[in-house]
Amino acid sequence: MLDVRDLTVHIGQTRPLVRGVSFHVGAGETVGLVGESGSGKSLTARALVSLLPNGLRAGGSALLHGRELVGRDHPAGVRGHQVALLMQDPFTMLNPLTKVSTHILESLPGAAGRTEVARRLAEVGIDDPAVAGRYPFQLSGGMRQRVALAAALAKDPGLLIADEPTTALDMTTQHEVLALLRRIQVERGMGLVLITHDLRVARETCDRLLVMYAGTLVESVSSAALDTPAHPYTAGLLRSVPSITHRQPVLLGIPGSVPAAADVTDRCPFADRCAWAEPACTAHAPELVDLGGRATACRRHHEIDLTPAPETPQTPPETSDQRDILLDVHDLTKVYRSVGFRRTAHTALAGVSLQVGEGESVAVVGESGSGKTTLARAVLGLTDPTGGRITLDGIDLTSYRRLRAGDRAQARRVVQCVFQDPYSSLNPAHTVGYALREALRQRGEPVQSEVDDLLSLVGLPGDCAGTYPEALSGGQRQRVAIARALAVRPRLLVCDEPVAALDVSVQAQILEVLRTANRDLGIALLFITHDLAVARQVTDRMVVMRHGLVVEHGTTAGVLDDPVHPYTVRLVESIPGAHRPRENQGEAHVPQ
């Protein structure tokens, strides 16, 4: 169906961003493009549908049913009709001021009517006819992605390119969207190119995987053979994936970051981050060598053993009943009421109770809309609860506005936060050192050595102090955000999806920083996440929320290994590649 040969993407005349990429996709086959951010996955996809940003140009060849895609400014009758692109954020595909029905009608050929719109929506699992009359902002993230998929498939393309279609979704919604893609693909005999940085998703969904690094392919392998990698980069990605079955002693990311493709054209691009590199690896660029059923661009593939070593599961820490209570949330409620002609009420929290002990780490998990972030905002004083009580270190924090100045200052020293998006939590006009010094001033006169100590604690070099946030990668920014939170020496750190937007390798590094803060500094964690494998690696206990209620709680191992509530069972079963262990490692409790 699709035959890509020596695909390149350049900026200007000579600076490559993607180079020498070759692969094929058969009818009904799913091929995954995996790798860290900056590897060239999305640029490869955009080159195939002539959607490269201004200033970039594609070279090489990509034949779709024998028709050339590369070099065509506007491939009439190709984009949409023969090949379609589904993006990560449906808001980039859907006009927020246009109803769902209009999006579908604009994509359908000929004079289609409401019946055809309803049929197309039903194909992607939307059976409610009222959805057709709604706007995208009135739908959930999963529902928007289904509408975007319906619009992408409206012209019945033979090939779909899906660029991180589930990255921003919670586990159950991700599972549903991937199952939907698979069902439609089988029914239509459609080829699928899935771009993702989540190896769990890629392994479960794809027939073959193409591993990209610094704009080039470094390995091609079947999903079944992924556990025996032939390239050190693939092995590093696999080591970085958090386990859902046990708590790992050490979370191993890949040191360093992806280099610019133009800087490594004459050498192995992974050499600077590779534990097996030798001088010959930087002498010339290795070719992709066919090994029979797989291919690798590692010149030492025949002499190094990349098989992962077996791990000894870490013993779960002691539970909260052996610790003094630091945070006590009792019967917390939060109701959002709208004003105007039509008054409505939405209950975000419906009587939530939980405790966090000194030095303990507690996960709060659940789907989007379960009330996790509202709970975190209430603890941080960013929203006032409608009812209930929040006590932190003996201070009643139910309403920050009613606190005396001294109590408010004390609360701010006791609790700090790390948000999902490090871009919005750091001031782009201030250097890293300035941001850390400002935080240090909250507990006394800072000295440069303290700034250096904080950077060292989160794994950053001291020269980062003079750097502005825009010059750092996403993972480095998140490390700075954590260092700033730790500067005031808090006793509780509230983490709201702190690794949801990060590559798997960077994610492992950030999680290890948080585990170190919890284990070595005794800082308690209230960890908000929808990724149960991440929760397994960081937390002692787990609270499962649904529709503003706690439906199950217990030790993290107990809840994940032997879930009791049907909702928790569904969450666990939604994890790509998850399996249920035979023996329970803890006790779970279902609130009455």
Main-chain dihedrals φ then ψ at residue 287, nearest 5 degrees: -90, 160
Are the beta carbons of 521 and 542 closer than 8 angstroms? no
Q: Report DSSP letters for 430-462, one per residue.
A: S-HHHHHHHHHGGGS---HHHHHHHHHHTT--G
Nearest C-alpha neighbor of 133 from the set 101, 98, 94, 103: 101
Q: What stretches of 370-503 show up as alpha helix (H) in DSSP? A: 372-380, 405-414, 422-425, 432-440, 448-457, 474-486
Q: Which of 45-49, 399-403, 423-427 has the lowest mean pLDDT?
A: 423-427
| Residue 41 pLDDT grade (very low, low, confident, very high; cuts 50, 70, 90) | very high
> Does any domain span residue 313?
no
How far is Cα of residue 312 from the mean position of the Cα atoms in its chain? Answer: 26
Instruction: Give CA–CA dist 99/247, Å, rounded.
Output: 46
Instruction: Give CA–CA dist 34/38, Å, rounded.
Output: 11
Mean pLDDT over 210-229 rounds to: 94
| 582 and 541 assigned to the same domain | yes
| 270 and 402 assigned to the same domain | no
| 407 and 466 assigned to the same domain | yes
| 280 and 351 assigned to the same domain | no
Mean pLDDT over 251-271 rounds to: 91
Instruction: Give CA–CA dist 323/185, Å, rounded.
Output: 52
Position 592 scores a pLDDT of 47
To the nearest whole percent, how much of the chain has pLDDT over 90?
Answer: 47
Greater pLDDT, 100 or 578? 100
Mean pLDDT over 356-360 rounds to: 95
> Does any domain span residue 216?
yes
Q: Report DSSP letters for 253-264, one per residue.
A: --SS-PPPGGGG
> Does any domain span residue 311?
no
> Does any domain span residue 272?
yes
| 259 and 362 assigned to the same domain | no
In one-letter notation, the amino acid at residue 498 is: P
Predicted confidence (pLDDT) per residue in 517-544, tens digit: 999 999 999 999 989 999 999 999 999 9
Nearest C-alpha neighbor of 50 from the set 22, 16, 9: 9
Pairing state of beta strands 295-296 and 216-222?
antiparallel
> Which of 296, 329, 360 is at the close of a domain?
296
Position 502 scores a pLDDT of 81
CATH classification at residue 465: 3.40.50.300
Three-class HEC string of 352-371: EEEEEECCCEEEEECCCCCC
Q: Which of 19-28, 516-525, 575-584 has the lowest mean pLDDT?
A: 575-584
Q: Give the pTM.
A: 0.86
| Residue 34 pLDDT grade (very low, low, confident, very high; cuts 50, 70, 90) | very high
Instruction: Give CA–CA dist 521/38, Å, rounded.
Output: 34
Instruction: Mark 96-111 as b/e (b = at least 16 C-beta within 10 Å).
Output: eeebbbbbbbebbeee
Pairing state of beta strands 415-418 and 395-396?
unpaired
Residue 570 clears pLDDT 80, i.e. is over it: yes
Main-chain dihedrals φ then ψ at residue 460, nearest 5 degrees: -115, 145
| 35 and 152 assigned to the same domain | yes
Position 75 scores a pLDDT of 54
Give residue 537's domain range.
Answer: 320-589
| 264 and 353 assigned to the same domain | no
Predicted confidence (pLDDT) per residue in 273-331, tens digit: 999 999 999 999 999 999 988 999 999 999 998 887 777 777 666 554 567 999 999 99
> How does the average pLDDT of the chain come out, rounded?
87
Question: For the chain, what is the domain count?
Answer: 2
How far is Cα of residue 422 from the mean position of the Cα atoms in its chain? Answer: 14
Greater pLDDT, 259 or 339? 259
